[in-house]
Structure 1
Amino acid sequence: MFGLVHLVVFLFSVLLWLLIAAWNTRAAAWSMSYASVGLLNFAAYMAYVASALLLGHLGDRIGFKRPLAVGFLALACILPTGFLWRAPWSLVPTACLVLVFFGFFYPSVEGLLSREEGRLGVHPFSTTARFSLSWSSGNIVGMLFGPWLIQRSPSGVFIGGMALCLAGAAALWAHWRRHGEALARPSTAGFSGPAPPPLAGAALKRLRLGARTALLLGSLAFVGTMLLYPKLLSASGVPLAEVGFVTAFGNVGVFLTFLVLLPTRFWIGRPRLCALLSGGALLLFGACLAAARTPALFGLTVALGGVAYAVPYTFALFYGLATPDADNARQGAIHETLIGLSQGFGPLAAGLLLAAGAGVAGMGCLIVGLGLASFSAQLFLSARSSFSRTGGHRG
């Protein structure tokens, strides 16, 4: 069943980015302003945040499988609104309702996997690895083909999504009837090895805070630019149907970063190293974005943005799922709330900045500033941690 859950995560991540690409590509085709596109995505991700806060922790109280099955049916009822897109305002209900579902979906799946794998003695590191690779590979596929599909066959995106929702609801409900909330033991092949040192108490909370601060800033930068790329690239002469082949490099960067960080474990419990990696990745992303002028350079820059997002994402998810308390879904909800906040405010800020005439170079400089803020905040938290451990003496 763990394999089925990860397949569900992969397929629904494909669907998520097909839909995000759909409304952003349609917005670009209708020549909506940068500020309007930013406001559209801001509204959608605020719905994501509200859903994560209000619904994301339900699994801790009433179980995970039945609410997820009901959620799949709800999304199947939401998707037909995509057939009603006739004007810019008509994108808003679909975008908001779709992200209400995903604000509930991701924390629920994180909680289900974390709780059941923890029950079976699987280390949170392995849970983080499999979950991260599942959604990031799905994002690559969705982002790669989203703009192309919505230009070629918009009805196919929504009909295929409805079929996936109905199949997912039936499979999950049937599994619940047979096995309840339990899942079968997963294979840990590929992520085996000595377990990282245990983390708990104040040390774990400080590591979480530093990693989540870095995630907030990294996601703000990455998604703030990512969701505006259809309009940016189409203005540079790239056909809308081909935009996805450039923007997909972002999630390629995410996926490759996971492949490097997840098998190594060298960063666990080392906040200064995490600060250097996450802050440095943002600085490099911002500098490259400021210099990007061609589709090839944009592709490289988007990949670096994926790295800048995936590095703190890995740290934050691991330290969240390494909870010693029975609050797996709550930790997942906090994680997804941070992502939703940054992915709402990021496109809004970037859209307003571009509308004000700052240009891509101005956005790059802003991201460099975010990188410096990420690095400084994490070093400050690390220094406070060291100071408290030595009883106020740094020597």
Structure 2
Amino acid sequence: MRRQKIFHKYHFLSFVISVQAYLYSTYINSTAAKLGFSFTQIGLVNLILSIAYAMASVTLGHVGTRYGYKRTISFLAVYLFIVSMFGLFANNPEGLVIFAVLQGIFFGAFFPQVEGLIAKSESLLRIDPPSITGRFTLSWSTGNIIGVAFGPFLTVRAPGVIFVLGLIISGMTSLLVSLDYQKFGDTITFTPYRKLLEHSQNASVVTNKNAMRKLRLEYRIILFLGGLIYTSVLASFPKLMMLAGLKLENAGFLTVGANIGVLLTFVILQSWKGWVGNEYFCGILLSVVPMTGIIAFFAKNPLMFFLTALFAGFTYAVPYTFAIFYGLLSEEEEHGKQGALHEMVIGLLFGVGPLVGGMLFDKLGGNLGLLVYALSISVVIYLIQLLFNFAVQQQNQAK
């Protein structure tokens, strides 16, 4: 009898690639801070990176739907190997920008493939929909924690290690995924733990395709807005902490609070699924956005920096959970397309957030700038939620 499992090897792949993704992103932001970039200049680098990420998502992100997810992942891993070689020499402003674009293309194209592969394969196994998205987000968010925590430290102490890891991971990924495709085809083969097959009552909202499409659009917009805070924190905290007198090499151990916040949110929302289709609870959970700004205003020491980062993680993970759930599970046979659109939103917010945030930080100062940023975004988020719910009420009354 085959052993039942909760996670499988493609969750592990998502974890490993996420470690590398955040090692590279923290290398870019930490090196920019070390080279003396302003907050706005750091934001511009992230904007360029995010445009590359978003363009790769919408152009290459759904290639796996047509040519096979595993074959596409294997090919992309070869590309990452080449990019990692280039990264060994990306230690000046020009090289840093080029490297940011090249690695952004890979991650923008990669994550829709693994999202689509997991969603397609696990839907065929009839796994509970929130468990499909929940376990995937747990896998990559755990990897993010490691990447963010150690990225600045390695950037200062041993930057070559970051790129050697990239070479090893990309080479092994290309080989092992290619072999897996030859053996099992373009689906994931595993025996799921029986609890994963028990569908929650609230997951019945999946059967209402019109409601799912509305919720998908609503929370993709809110994800973009809420994620602006999170991405600003990740991009600007290394420089902000340097200005506060903290060592750059230790910045990651405080900034990682954001990724711990992401992981905690995913664990809680995976265990408690009352949020599915419940707009009232979703609105309460979104209150983490204004709370982040209030905490940030009082961030003067390492503990408050960590708490600010922690709540910034909440502002991203809450709407992310909603958006990926309604996105990947709202259209049958379009897992790759929905994954690509989802990653496009992610890519754009990782550029717009640091740029707008950086401009505010330069003009108002880090603490006050983040407070103004968070409160402004909160107003827009709740306005959007009210407008979407009002439109639904109007439709229901018209029937």
TM-score of the pair, normalised by structure 2: 0.95
Shift of the 180–194 alpha-carbon distance from structure 1 to 2, 3 Å rule, reads closer
Q: Which amino acid aligns with 2:281?
A: L
Report if aligned partners of 2:363, 2:369 keep a CA contact under 8 Å in 1.
no
Report if aligned partners of 1:207, 1:271 keep a CA contact under 8 Å in 2.
no
User: Whole-Å Cα distance in 2 between the matches of residues 388 and 166 of structure 1?
Assistant: 53
1:335 matched to 2:342: yes
* Structure 1 residue 192 displacement after superposition: 5.5
Aligned-partner SS, 1:267 = coil
1:237 matched to 2:245: yes
* Structure 1 residue 132 displacement after superposition: 0.5
Matches within 5 A, 1:166-245: 166-188=171-193, 191=196, 193-195=198-200, 196-199=203-206, 200-245=208-253
Shift of the 25–189 alpha-carbon distance from structure 1 to 2, 3 Å rule, reads farther
Match of residue 170 from structure 2: 165
User: Whole-Å Cα distance in 2 between the matches of residues 164 and 274 of structure 1?
Assistant: 37
* Residue from 12, 15, 28 that aligns with 1:10: 15
Match of residue 75 from structure 2: 70
1:124 matched to 2:129: yes
Aligned-partner SS, 1:204 = helix
User: Whole-Å Cα distance in 1 between the matches of residues 357 and 194 of structure 2?
Assistant: 41
Report if aligned partners of 1:275, 1:379 keep a CA contact under 8 Å in 2.
no
Match of residue 353 from structure 2: 346
User: Whole-Å Cα distance in 2 between the matches of residues 194 and 7 of structure 1?
Assistant: 24
* Residue from 35, 44, 63 that aligns with 1:39: 44
User: Number of aligned pairs?
Assistant: 391
* Structure 1 residue 178 displacement after superposition: 1.1
Match of residue 327 from structure 2: 320
* Structure 1 residue 307 displacement after superposition: 0.8
- Deviation larger for 40-49 or 77-86: 77-86
Report if aligned partners of 1:191, 1:263 keep a CA contact under 8 Å in 2.
no
Q: Deviations over 1:72-125 (max 9, x none)?
A: 010000112222234212101111110100001111111000011111211321
Match of residue 256 from structure 2: 248
* Residue from 105, 112, 116 that aligns with 1:111: 116
User: Whole-Å Cα distance in 2 between the matches of residues 41 and 251 of structure 1?
Assistant: 18
Report if aligned partners of 2:240, 2:366 keep a CA contact under 8 Å in 1.
no
Aligned-partner SS, 2:176 = helix
Report if aligned partners of 1:272, 1:382 keep a CA contact under 8 Å in 2.
no
* Structure 1 residue 186 displacement after superposition: 4.3
* Structure 1 residue 361 displacement after superposition: 0.7
* Structure 1 residue 168 displacement after superposition: 0.7
Q: Deviations over 1:240-293 (max 9, x none)?
A: 110010001110011011111111110111123212312x11011111112222
* Structure 1 residue 357 displacement after superposition: 3.8
Identity of aligned residues (%): 33
Unaligned regions of 5+ residues in structure 1, if any?
none
- Deviation larger for 202-211 or 95-104: 202-211
1:367 matched to 2:360: no
Match of residue 303 from structure 1: 310
* Structure 1 residue 190 displacement after superposition: 6.1
- Aligned residues: CA RMSD: 1.5
Q: Which amino acid aligns with 2:225?
A: L
Report if aligned partners of 2:31, 2:91 keep a CA contact under 8 Å in 1.
no
Unaligned regions of 5+ residues in structure 2, if any?
none
